[in-house]
Structure 1
């Protein structure tokens, strides 16, 4: 279950990306300002948006976290429409009960945001919800106040008769629609561990208007004296499926006899087509509700390491606080290491020594702590500030890799969903960049083997990391299917970015989608 792919439109230099799958290891490459960092930062952006109560879906700015400014700042300069769109490919749990099939249903849920009036931020301008198995799409458009202005399924009007609907209720990221034109959306932070057993919170009148519209579309199938309440009960048990399966349910499982003229046309007739569309429309609140929880659950468990790590200090004042995770800038590294148990400190030291041949430890003296490092072949540990800037940069990286992927976690401790890392190769010698590919692959494999797989996404300029992953595939350490390379190629004249996905052959070579001479220097003139 959960988030499978992400697509963004009109976000900074990204006019549109394909649906980019969330693979075990994803490497984002491209020249400066091509959009690769923008795409990667979308994940911590959405994380900070679901971690705090907000007035609008996206928290565009958070101090010491992700700063996109405002929606107006974030919109692509050449966008003809002043909107930003996030499209999520989500695998919903069977408990959502939106399809007749016994396999988890997959939906593409696209949320388009526009700029609101101060003091409020961006608002949901529209949704597009596609079910690829049945090639059907619902489109919903809203006013700045959240009122539902139009609702179509494959172009057919699905607006309830004589009834206003609006975005309202509780949401993490994707607000839902309910009857009434003066709804209020309360964006709540993700608190419970949704990944364990996603809760379902729906009011009894959640989709009453859409249910009644579906019941009306059923009337031509049955005897004219069929009670409205009976039609509503039948409609309440209709789910999306293949036309044959849905027709069988309506004809055999409803408890009523289908009229002869309706039976003659079956699922080829216009009556059934209306029922099919109304069924999909009626299920939209279920889909939004379930997708909201799946996306919020995934984003709340994202870990992120920024490209500019904190400068090391010679010593750190100890504090009586518990630190479970490494900050995006590594500023709390000393307190993180101090909070580890002796066994965990030994495990972390072994991880850095195995992959980059150095060992780190925390040394306590009174109320102060020092981070010490022993270089390859060194006889003693040296203070981090005396050993070179490269170690200052790489130590937070190794800490977050070990912490999210290799550290033993309790049964109730939510596992990291995605580790997003910017420029892991900073200040590292090319030979160590190749070794870093091994650390990334090893960390992912450790998490997978422990049954709590952590996907890893890396934004990099490093040819060593790209080649290092290929070498690991060639050796059989990881599979070619485990790694994808997303290439961001910006046109120097139009400044528009083309995004395409490449990868590796089973023997570790870059496949045909990789552009020839990508890492070669750009010729002048």
Structure 2
């Protein structure tokens, strides 16, 4: 789980300051304000950590099959107007749920542009407990390795960091008995980044039937691809978790009042299956129901499929859902973050989701320590972040005016017009 994030000169952000991330973090704000940049910073590191080329410093994307985003060039990531040094940085802190030699740590990496135009690491710092390890670029391809802020223990052109999160073998050797700790730290970092599940706002339409090849997919893709594979594997594999995902999703669809349940129907004796949606005694193929159910399915499946301790990042999960269903999404995030130890970082424009989150706090079904609600706005060329101050009754004391419209003002105006007509 990521516990904090800070961006400097990254896209719309000059400096976010240290942002506290909670088990459920809700990002709100106007269009093109910088919300997505917060999410993209972690996804940029995820696709770098998964790069097949270990010598890569930062994978800005371009491979439509394996990359989450195409960030373009160094100048497309660097905040406009940044002067010397032309450098951006990403920092975060994390805690791990899995058994590991490293239970918590911090990551900090700054990037510059080399004379060749490539994006290179200027300084990588990894720390856990009282130990801090750095790789600092001196000139061209030469890097110096530091341990616990002492004098450099090595300097050479074979010490460049790998995939933004790891020290090379030569650096591990130079660090002596602390080399193993650095390896464990890098491995934990990689696991945290790889366990990010990301769903974007554009998701696939459903098929009429699906083929199951008796395997479990490694992850759900950003457009929701592999969602049904996860459902089929969970329902058709006869293990201790048989049907857990399908039953859980049926429960939330019923709470949202969009369906009573989901079932899986085999077509003859083939390996083809239909996803059936049951509502008011009628069963229909997933392809034949409204678009809301197919679009929310990846969100619900991700919550159950993500490994405990991992992070699910969602952009506009409420797309094509009616107001009640949007409200229930807040309950879904709070419930699964607690029961499955899954972190949710949610970018949304839904007033109904936000209002239900306030109600859950007032009901004491969650607390302000478990929820972070952040508002992002644009002032001139800078993105500005405001942490919404929420009390134990869910009330916000520093809410930006008119972001969700002026419901009270609308009601007042309707009453005024009704009274004026009656007087006439």
Report TM bin, short chain: 0.7 to 0.9
**Counterpart in the other structure of 2:50:** 51
Q: Distance in 1 between matches of 2:246 and 2:145?
A: 60
**Counterpart in the other structure of 1:470:** 358
Q: Distance in 2 between matches of 1:416 and 1:151?
A: 29
> Contact 1:141–1:150 (CA<8 Å) still a contact in 2?
no
- Residue number among 276, 285, 289 corresponding to 1:372 in the alignment: 276
**Counterpart in the other structure of 2:229:** 335
Query: Taking structure 1 as reference, are residues 362 and 140 closer, same or farther at Cα in structure 2, changes over 3 Å only?
Result: same
- Aligned: 1:517 with 2:402: yes
Q: Distance in 1 between matches of 2:12 and 2:60?
A: 16
* Aligned-pair CA distance for 1:69: 2.4
Q: Distance in 2 between matches of 1:114 and 1:8?
A: 14
- Residue number among 263, 269, 287 corresponding to 1:385 in the alignment: 287
Give deviations 1:176-208, integer Å, cap 9, x for gaps: 4xxxxxxxx589xxxxxxxxxxxxx942x326x
Q: Distance in 2 between matches of 1:125 and 1:327?
A: 32
Greater alpha carbon shift after TM alignment, 354-363 vs 501-510: 354-363
**Counterpart in the other structure of 1:21:** 20
Aligned-partner SS, 1:27: strand
> Contact 1:34–1:489 (CA<8 Å) still a contact in 2?
yes
**Counterpart in the other structure of 2:303:** 401
Aligned-partner SS, 1:340: helix
- Residue number among 462, 476, 487 corresponding to 2:375 in the alignment: 487
> Scaled by the length of structure 2, what TM-score is found?
0.79
* Aligned-pair CA distance for 1:345: 5.4
> Scaled by the length of structure 1, what TM-score is found?
0.65
Q: Distance in 2 between matches of 1:129 and 1:344?
A: 38
Q: Distance in 1 between matches of 2:193 and 2:135?
A: 25
Q: Which ranges of structure 1 fall in alignment gaps of 5 or more residues?
A: 97-103, 177-184, 188-200, 208-235, 237-282, 405-413, 448-452
- Residue number among 358, 362, 386 corresponding to 1:500 in the alignment: 386
* Aligned-pair CA distance for 1:423: 0.4
Query: Taking structure 1 as reference, are residues 31 and 317 closer, same or farther at Cα in structure 2, changes over 3 Å only?
Result: same
- Residue number among 319, 322, 336 corresponding to 1:426 in the alignment: 319
Aligned-partner SS, 1:360: strand
**Counterpart in the other structure of 1:89:** 93
> Contact 1:5–1:89 (CA<8 Å) still a contact in 2?
yes
Aligned-partner SS, 1:310: coil
* Aligned-pair CA distance for 1:150: 11
Query: Taking structure 1 as reference, are residues 374 and 42 closer, same or farther at Cα in structure 2, changes over 3 Å only?
Result: farther
> Contact 2:9–2:89 (CA<8 Å) still a contact in 1?
yes
> Contact 2:266–2:272 (CA<8 Å) still a contact in 1?
yes
> Contact 1:425–1:462 (CA<8 Å) still a contact in 2?
yes
Query: Taking structure 1 as reference, are residues 117 and 56 closer, same or farther at Cα in structure 2, changes over 3 Å only?
Result: farther
* Aligned-pair CA distance for 1:31: 0.9
Q: Distance in 1 between matches of 2:347 and 2:145?
A: 40
Higher gyration radius (CA): 1
> Contact 2:110–2:124 (CA<8 Å) still a contact in 1?
yes
Q: Distance in 1 between matches of 2:100 and 2:223?
A: 39
- Residue number among 136, 141, 148 corresponding to 1:145 in the alignment: 141
Query: Taking structure 1 as reference, are residues 336 and 94 closer, same or farther at Cα in structure 2, changes over 3 Å only?
Result: closer
> Contact 2:133–2:147 (CA<8 Å) still a contact in 1?
no
* Aligned-pair CA distance for 1:458: 0.3
- Aligned: 1:31 with 2:30: yes
Query: Taking structure 1 as reference, are residues 146 and 347 closer, same or farther at Cα in structure 2, changes over 3 Å only?
Result: farther
Q: Distance in 1 between matches of 2:294 and 2:354?
A: 23
Q: Distance in 2 between matches of 1:467 and 1:505?
A: 14
Q: Which ranges of structure 2 fall in alignment gaps of 5 or more residues?
A: 236-241, 407-424
Give deviations 1:79-132, integer Å, cap 9, x for gaps: 224322011235699968xxxxxxx8x8654211122355x8421112467999
What pairs with 1:42-191 in structure 2 (closer than 5 Å)?
A: 42-54=41-53, 55-61=55-61, 62-64=63-65, 65-80=68-83, 81-89=85-93, 109-116=107-114, 121-127=118-124, 140-148=136-144, 158=151, 164-165=155-156, 168=159, 171=162, 173-176=164-167, 185=168
Query: Taking structure 1 as reference, are residues 291 and 33 closer, same or farther at Cα in structure 2, changes over 3 Å only?
Result: farther
**Counterpart in the other structure of 2:421:** none
Greater alpha carbon shift after TM alignment, 478-487 vs 336-345: 336-345
> Contact 1:7–1:88 (CA<8 Å) still a contact in 2?
yes
* Aligned-pair CA distance for 1:403: 2.2
Q: Distance in 1 between matches of 2:45 and 2:135?
A: 23
**Counterpart in the other structure of 2:410:** none
Query: Taking structure 1 as reference, are residues 206 and 398 closer, same or farther at Cα in structure 2, changes over 3 Å only?
Result: same
**Counterpart in the other structure of 2:247:** 347
Q: Distance in 1 between matches of 2:94 and 2:245?
A: 37
Aligned-partner SS, 2:394: coil
Q: What is the total number of aligned residue pairs between the two structures?
A: 389
**Counterpart in the other structure of 1:442:** 335
Query: Taking structure 1 as reference, are residues 390 and 90 closer, same or farther at Cα in structure 2, changes over 3 Å only?
Result: closer
* Aligned-pair CA distance for 1:477: 1.0
RMSD: 3.6
